Structure 1
Amino acid sequence: MLSFTEVLPTVKRVLGAVLPSDLGRTLTHEHLSMEFNHFYRKPPNQIAHRFQSGFTLENVGYIRQYPYSSKFNIVMNDDHSKHAVYNDVGVFKELGGGTIVENTTIGLNRDIDFYKSVSEKTGVHVVAGTGHYIADVQNDTILDIRTEDLYNLMLTELTEGCIDNPIVKAGFVGEIASVWPIKDFERRAIRAAGEIQAQLGCGISFHPHRDPKAPFEIIRLYTEAGGRVNKAVMSHLDRTLLELEQLLEFSELGTYCQLDLFGTEVSHYQLNIHMDMPSDAQRLNMIKALVNEGREERVLMSHDIHTKHRLIDFGGHGYSHIFFNVLPKMLAKGFTQAQIDKITIENPANWLSVTY
């Protein structure tokens, strides 16, 4: 029996608070609506004409290899995208999905109203984030704000309501993003995340740049500001810490190690052409190595869908890819069902649980 001083942990969804046990299988890093225009890349001259229209059978293969060369593809908040997302999240629900954690932050055109609509229409829990993306997508006014102002915005959105929908509370901080070297604005945002975590005990999600030094520096700044490592997620490690030794070294810090590009299997990674993007099988080998080191309670998985071409309606794998295709492969690779449940159900619930 609870005493009057005890508070049950909850998770703050866009439709209100629920118990952590209500979340079910959870994707911890996805996007339902956003714009990625800043990352447009010109296509190679030989195939530039393939990107002048939307999606066709003749060009979808090119878009999969050069997704950031299609201006239509990198806009994921138009009517085409919204219709596709409704369908895709519905399939996710049908195939056993319970919760999607939406990581769009200020600078990427967050749309709380749409996230709420998706949750209402599909029955899937949606948890929205708060905070800022990289400095390069912010306007000059935002770039000049103090750490205290960044902190106050997150505090308001977590405890009172989001600035773009005051009746909806954010459920975590993130994704807090940075480039390399980390810019002054981004350092202030990381420190503000550490301060708000120390006060509220909320979950934090970080987006590091594509440099193996970035995750370590982010956690240094975050913990110096008071943030707890056991409530921090380091995203995109499957395209950042490619050497197993680096991954295991980072895991010793105690954060959640998130491999969240499942479904992305390309021979030419446009945002870092010098690296070899891992396959899903290689991602599972990375997770297996973490599990073998006794760190299964610190692993998370997701897809980071942020462009049209990865949605089912546009020929992609969709939000259900991990649950329908990857989890059976995990069993074949020797993971136990208990380990799978910990990674996809228990760990997300623990990360998102708060008592304020």
Structure 2
Amino acid sequence: MSATKGKIQTVRGLINPDELGITLTHEHILFDSTDPINEPNSEKERKWRNQDLGASRRKVFNEPVSLDNIGLIYHHGWKNKDNGRLGDINTAVEEVNVYKALGGKSLVEATSIGIKRDAEGLLKVSNLTDTHIIMGGSFYVHQYHPKWVTQNTSEDLAEIIINDITMGVDGRNIKTGIIGEVGCSHPLHPEEEKTLIASAIAQKETGCPILIHPGRDEHAPLIAIDILEKAGADLKNVIMGHLDRTVFEKDTLKRIGEKGCFFEWDLFGREKAYYPANELIDMPSDAKRIADILWLANEGYSSKILIAHDVCTKVQTLKYGGWGFSYILSFIVPRMLQRGYNQDLINKILISNPSQALAFTK
């Protein structure tokens, strides 16, 4: 039997599922999303920078995050370079330690190739906080793909993903424990279809779970699932992320469930209805997330639900006035208990479900 079968792979090595404890399944501890936004790439963005802000505020795009600009940055999100950089080890340790003090034990660090995954940094954070960190792999959305991705086949890319799982990232013996977040746009870019297929191939070889970042469309998760299924992926070992901003029809949720995937609501704490990445939808409130999850649990899917915050900007961290990794444990769990959840269901969502979702099948 393989050494990984039934185990969870962290940056410090393999652990048993019962060692995982309370787990957030989609976060970013060390991360950099700035590369594709160095210059305005759309008429809308040029208008935002040159007109909407006024001459005195155009420079906000290149300013460090501060009290002077945090309101604009919070509204416009990733358009500010500094906001998309999470690279300080000491800050990361402080943020994770607050989560740990509330009972948190493990985090999935979903940074994949293209958004500056930092294996050595994650190992340092894991050791300094004594928490389990499961590091991501595969490739983010096509705008962030390294140029060499286009020159390789799905089979070639699968070998890279497999090597990160079995040998470690950049030969450092620090191994990925999840294939993802695998980035998808809508409509799906051909290069993203290629990386989806590569991820399925890598899963078939290793038994490592897959985490999907679907495109921003109601049908995008099912499109990704169809490609994975045709490529031979084990859908029971797939997590469909970002459901909060993607799926609004209960029938779609049921169709995802019928395929066997795990459901992930991973944007807790983002209650501002305006969503700059897709202005055609309103970001749901945490109350809506809580209600939708309870509905799904009552439909028979309580063992397939996962939650997180997807911290990926400075303004989401405690240091810059955000909620950090501790918000779910501090504020959401008490609200859940007020709104029809029992402790057994919460333990499922935070402990037993992650221990199943993150376990290798080979």
TM bucket normalised to smaller:
over 0.9
What is the aligned partner in structure 2 of residue 288 from structure 1?
Answer: 294
Cα deviation for residue 277 of structure 1 reads 0.4
- 1:107 paired with 2:114, answer yes
What is the aligned partner in structure 1 of residue 29 from structure 2?
Answer: 32
What is the aligned partner in structure 2 of residue 176 from structure 1?
Answer: 182
What is the aligned partner in structure 2 of residue 276 from structure 1?
Answer: 282
- 1:94 paired with 2:133, answer no
- 1:59 paired with 2:69, answer yes
Deviations 1:118-158 (A, max 9, x none): 00111111011111111111233222211111111111111
1:166–1:55 CA distance, 2 compared to 1 (3 A): closer
Aligned partner of residue 331 in structure 1, secondary structure: helix
Any conservation in 2 of the 1:84–1:312 contact (CA below 8 Å)?
no
Could you state the TM-score of these two structures normalised by the residue count of structure 2?
0.91
Aligned partner of residue 113 in structure 1, secondary structure: helix
Aligned partner of residue 293 in structure 1, secondary structure: helix
1:130–1:60 CA distance, 2 compared to 1 (3 A): same
User: Where in structure 2 are the equivalents of 1:188-227 lying within 5 Å?
Assistant: 188-227=194-233
| Aligned residue among 51, 54, 73 for 2:83 | 73
- What is the rounded CA distance, in whole Å, between the counterparts of 2:177 and 2:279 in structure 1? 35
Aligned partner of residue 337 in structure 2, secondary structure: helix
What is the aligned partner in structure 2 of residue 48 from structure 1?
Answer: 57
Cα deviation for residue 33 of structure 1 reads 1.2
Cα deviation for residue 198 of structure 1 reads 2.3
Any conservation in 1 of the 2:5–2:207 contact (CA below 8 Å)?
no
Aligned partner of residue 108 in structure 2, secondary structure: strand
Cα deviation for residue 353 of structure 1 reads 1.1
- 1:10 paired with 2:11, answer no
- What is the rounded CA distance, in whole Å, between the counterparts of 1:139 and 1:330 in structure 2? 42
Cα deviation for residue 39 of structure 1 reads 5.2
Judge which range, 123-132 or 44-53, deviates more: 44-53
Deviations 1:191-223 (A, max 9, x none): 122222223222100111101111001000101
Any conservation in 2 of the 1:85–1:311 contact (CA below 8 Å)?
no
Cα deviation for residue 249 of structure 1 reads 3.1
Aligned partner of residue 105 in structure 2, secondary structure: strand
- Identical aligned residues as a percent: 33
Aligned partner of residue 260 in structure 2, secondary structure: coil
Counterpart residue type for residue 238 of structure 2: A
Aligned partner of residue 300 in structure 2, secondary structure: coil
Unaligned runs of 5+ in 2: 39-44
User: Where in structure 2 are the equivalents of 1:299-314 lying within 5 Å?
Assistant: 299-314=305-320
Any conservation in 1 of the 2:37–2:81 contact (CA below 8 Å)?
no
Any conservation in 2 of the 1:132–1:175 contact (CA below 8 Å)?
yes
- 1:19 paired with 2:25, answer no
Aligned partner of residue 101 in structure 1, secondary structure: strand
What is the aligned partner in structure 2 of residue 160 from structure 1?
Answer: 167
Any conservation in 2 of the 1:301–1:344 contact (CA below 8 Å)?
yes
- What is the rounded CA distance, in whole Å, between the counterparts of 1:150 and 1:315 in structure 2? 39
- 1:136 paired with 2:146, answer no
- What is the rounded CA distance, in whole Å, between the counterparts of 1:32 and 1:6 in structure 2? 28
Aligned partner of residue 83 in structure 2, secondary structure: coil
Any conservation in 2 of the 1:64–1:266 contact (CA below 8 Å)?
no
1:218–1:90 CA distance, 2 compared to 1 (3 A): same
Aligned partner of residue 217 in structure 2, secondary structure: coil
What is the aligned partner in structure 2 of residue 339 from structure 1?
Answer: 345
- What is the rounded CA distance, in whole Å, between the counterparts of 1:130 and 1:7 in structure 2? 16
What is the aligned partner in structure 1 of residue 41 from structure 2?
Answer: none
1:308–1:114 CA distance, 2 compared to 1 (3 A): same
Cα deviation for residue 50 of structure 1 reads 8.0
Q: Which has the higher helix share?
A: 2
Any conservation in 2 of the 1:63–1:70 contact (CA below 8 Å)?
yes
Judge which range, 194-203 or 211-220, deviates more: 194-203
- What is the rounded CA distance, in whole Å, between the counterparts of 1:311 and 1:6 in structure 2? 36
Judge which range, 110-119 or 131-140, deviates more: 131-140
User: Where in structure 2 are the equivalents of 1:257-276 lying within 5 Å?
Assistant: 257-276=263-282
- What is the rounded CA distance, in whole Å, between the counterparts of 2:346 and 2:59 in structure 1? 40
1:243–1:59 CA distance, 2 compared to 1 (3 A): same
1:328–1:161 CA distance, 2 compared to 1 (3 A): same
Unaligned runs of 5+ in 1: none
Counterpart residue type for residue 189 of structure 2: K
Aligned partner of residue 73 in structure 1, secondary structure: helix
Cα deviation for residue 274 of structure 1 reads 1.4
- What is the rounded CA distance, in whole Å, between the counterparts of 1:5 and 1:27 in structure 2? 26
Cα deviation for residue 49 of structure 1 reads 5.0
